[in-house]
Structure 1
Amino acid sequence: MSTPFPLPCPASRLAFISDLHLDSALPHTLARFTEFLRTLPARADALFILGDLFEYWAGDDDAGRGINRAVIAALKQTRDAGVQIYLQHGNRDFLLGQNFAQESGVTLLPETVLLHSAHEPVLLLHGDTLCTDDIAYQTFRTQVRDPHWQQNFLAQPLTQRLAHIDMLRQRSQQEKQTKAMAIMDVNPKAVLRALQEAGCRKMIHGHTHRPATHRWEQDGQHYERWVLSDWEFDHAPTRGNALMVADATWHWEVL
C-alpha cells in the first residue's frame, strides 16, 4: 500500500460517503444524491467521497454522457455553496481526471490519505487494497492502475473504451457468482498493517458494501474501522448512509 498523503483537516464539520455507483439506469439513486448535496451545506463544510461515485467512468471526454453532466453540475453547485469536496478513485471510476475535477470543483485525492483532524489522525481509502485475499482482483487492479496502461486505454476511441468497460462489468458479475464472500471482504491483517504503518488508530473506507463500525484492541491499542454503505434507491432493499463528523462526535446518517 502506498504511503498515505497527509491532509490537514479542512473543516470542523465533515461528511463521508462512498459507492454511489451513479448510472443512468439508477435515477432514484441519482435523485437521492442530488438532494443530499442540496441540503449538505447546512450540515457539513467538507465532503469526502471515498471512491465509486460513478458505476464506471471511461475518461473525462465521457463527461457529457447520460447523467454525468447532471452529477458534475450538482457537485459544482455544492462547491459554490461553500462545501469543499474531496474525491478518491474507486475500482469503478479510477479514470476520473483533472478535467472532471476542474469542471465539478472537486479535489482529487491519492488512494490513501491521512487526514489530520484536530483530535486524531484518520486513514481514508476506498478499501479495495485491503481485500488482499482476492488475488485475481489485486492482479487486475495493479494492471489498470498502471499509468502506461491508462494512457494506452485513454488513447482508444470512446466507443471502444465503453465496449471494453461493458465487457469487464459483465465478467465481474459472473466472477462474483463463484467467488467466496470472505475473499471479497477486507483482510484483518491488511487493515491492521495499514493502520500501524500510517501511525493512526481510525480508518474510514467503503468498497465492500458491508456498512458497520468495527472496534477492537491489539497490543494495548484501541482501533476503529468505519465502513461506509453503498447507495441503492432503485431496487429493494434500499440503502445508503453518510458518516458525519463534527469535532469529536461521529455518527451515521441513514439516508
Structure 2
Amino acid sequence: MNILLVDDSRLARTELRHLLQAFPDVTVVGEARHVAEARTRIQELQPDVLLLDIHMPGETGFELLASLEAAPHVVFTTAYDEYALRAFEVNALDYLLKPIEAHRLAAALDKARTQLRPAVSAEAPPPIPVSEEPAATPLTEHDQVFVKDGEKCWFVRLADIRLFEINGSYTQIHFHEHRPLIPRTLQHLEQRLDPRVFFRVNRQQIINLKWVEGIEPWFSNSLKIRLRGGPEVEVSRQQSVRFRELLSL
C-alpha cells in the first residue's frame, strides 16, 4: 500500500512516518506540505491512500479532493473534530484526531486494505461457496462511528454507547441524551462489536459492560442489570449463565 502524507506540519509528517514503520506492507512514497504540492505529488506518484490534513496554508484538504478528477482513498488526520460528518460525506475511509493513536491508525489501514483488494475478474472462475461472508473489521470501544437518524447526524465513540436495543424493525442506540434509530439488526452489531465490552443480554438488547452500575438476582436464576444513566435490563436465563462465566474469576 503506497501512502502520500499531506500535512503542513513537518512534525506531524515525521510522527506519521514513525507510526507507519510498524506496518510492513505500507510504503510512504512521498510528502506534501500544502494542497498545490499535493496535486503534483498525486499525479507523479499515484498513491493508493492519502493521509490528509484539513487546515493547511492556502486551500483545505476538502478543496484538494474537490479539485481531483479521481482521488486516492483518503484518511483524514486533523486536530479538529468538527469536520467529521463532512469527511464521511466525501467518502473518507476514516477520520483520525491528532495526536494519532497507533490502534486507530491500524484500524484505518485495515479499511484501506479492504478497499484495495483486487476485484474478481468477470472471466475468473467463480469462488468456492462459503457459508457466509467474512466478517468486517471488528470495532473496539475506542472507535468512533457515524450515526444518522433522519436529518440528524452524530460521530460517536463506541465507549459512550451504553445500550443497543430493538425498536420495531430498527435498533435504537443510547448515548448521552440521544436515542437515534439505525437500520441494523442486533445480530449484525454483535458481529462487529468487541465481545469483551459489549454483551448480548437477551434477544432485544446489547449492553456496554463498562456502563454496568449494579447487578441483582432476578427470577428463575436470571439477573437484572442497572446501567449508569439508565435503564435497567433483564438478562435472560441462558445469558445470565454466560454473564457469570464471563465475569467470574
Q: What TM-score does the superposition give when structure 1 sets the normalisation length? A: 0.25
Query: Which has the higher Rg, Structure 1 or Structure 2?
Result: 2
Structure with the higher fraction of residues in strand conformation:
2
Pick 1 or 2: higher relative contact order, CA cutoff 8 A, min separation 6. 1
Q: What TM-score does the superposition give when structure 2 sets the normalisation length? A: 0.25
Structure with the higher fraction of residues in helix conformation:
1
